[in-house]
Structure 1
């Protein structure tokens, strides 16, 4: 039955057909948020559900104002003068085009309504406007209003989600913001390995998160075998994802290093 459904989608999925509208209605029903458990109480009134969703993500994404501590007695690696020049160099057309072609053409669009398939198809028409925007940002460090606006879509993490914690939020941003982020990421990628400690095994090209998992398991086995004393920290990564980490935590981590 599943195979037959896939065949039908290939034949009729893009047509204005009964099958297409049936699939559309099925997805709308499946993805609809009919109610939520909030503080142990079930809510199914649409107005209350919307209010709780807004409140939940407002707290998640709200900017935190921390009193930043002075970083004293901590030795940081520094980038070279040549690397500094590379990071602050003017943004040229070739760098912008490389960033555009590095982006997936079929990703869901953000508030601007365009994906990179459109940008690539009409590159000769839109490239001058994109270059001008990038150069203006490089000159004054400010984004045009709305550039970093996002849509938040909720992806269920379980089959029967009943609370907002059962959803994974995905931010859909516009193409211009993605291009700029890709340019900055490509530049930073060249210098990060020289300033980030070798013991960080994740989020850097050529390093694998599983290395840390293996080391942690081997360390734990050794501690149990030799009956030694040690301290393990279990970190709530959700805390990190939404920018809730106070600067003092980072400072203490550097000192422990």
Structure 2
């Protein structure tokens, strides 16, 4: 943190692309039922649940009732500019690599299991950004 002034001077040398205000406004529009519906439809049903214990299959089965709850949740998140603490939780588990000895730690890979609500919000935001990413970033 001692070098922040030097970093600012370094970064000022370069002209980074800036987003247009219209693009930024489009990213902040309220989340719609259609966006939630599209993401829930594509959630893999056979994945392990996160800390809340709910699976993608559960969300798909009760999509009609859950959309209204999620819509209210996402509206509150946008109004308060704060994520619920459950969005910061994850279960981290180790999966053994195929055909490796399970007695060595390097033969495991970690995965983190998040709550589906957090995944849905992340996917909606990623979908929105995807429309504008080519305008913001160079293809390389």
Residue matched to 1:165: 106
SS in 2 for 1:74: coil
Q: Distance in 2 between matches of 1:198 and 1:123?
A: 36
Range with bigger deviation, 188-197 or 169-178: 188-197
Q: Distance in 1 between matches of 2:2 and 2:71?
A: 36
Gaps of 5+ in 2: none
Q: TM-score, normalised by structure 2?
A: 0.84
Q: Distance in 2 between matches of 1:148 and 1:107?
A: 19
Q: TM-score, normalised by structure 1?
A: 0.48
Aligned length: 135
Does residue 153 of structure 1 match 2:93? yes
Larger Rg: 1
Gaps of 5+ in 1: 1-64, 200-257
Alpha-carbon deviations, 1:104-145, whole Å to 9, x = none? 122111111111111111122222211111111111121122
Does residue 140 of structure 1 match 2:80? yes
Residues 110 and 173, structure 1, Cα contact 8 Å, conserved in 2: yes
Residue matched to 1:60: none
Does residue 104 of structure 1 match 2:35? no
- Displacement of 1:73 after TM fit? 0.8
Q: Structure 1 residues 170 and 67, CA, compared in 2 at 3 Å: closer, same or farther? A: farther
Q: Distance in 1 between matches of 2:3 and 2:104?
A: 33
Q: CA RMSD in A?
A: 2.0
Alpha-carbon deviations, 1:121-171, whole Å to 9, x = none? 112222221111111111112112223311111122361144433321111
Residue matched to 2:132: 191
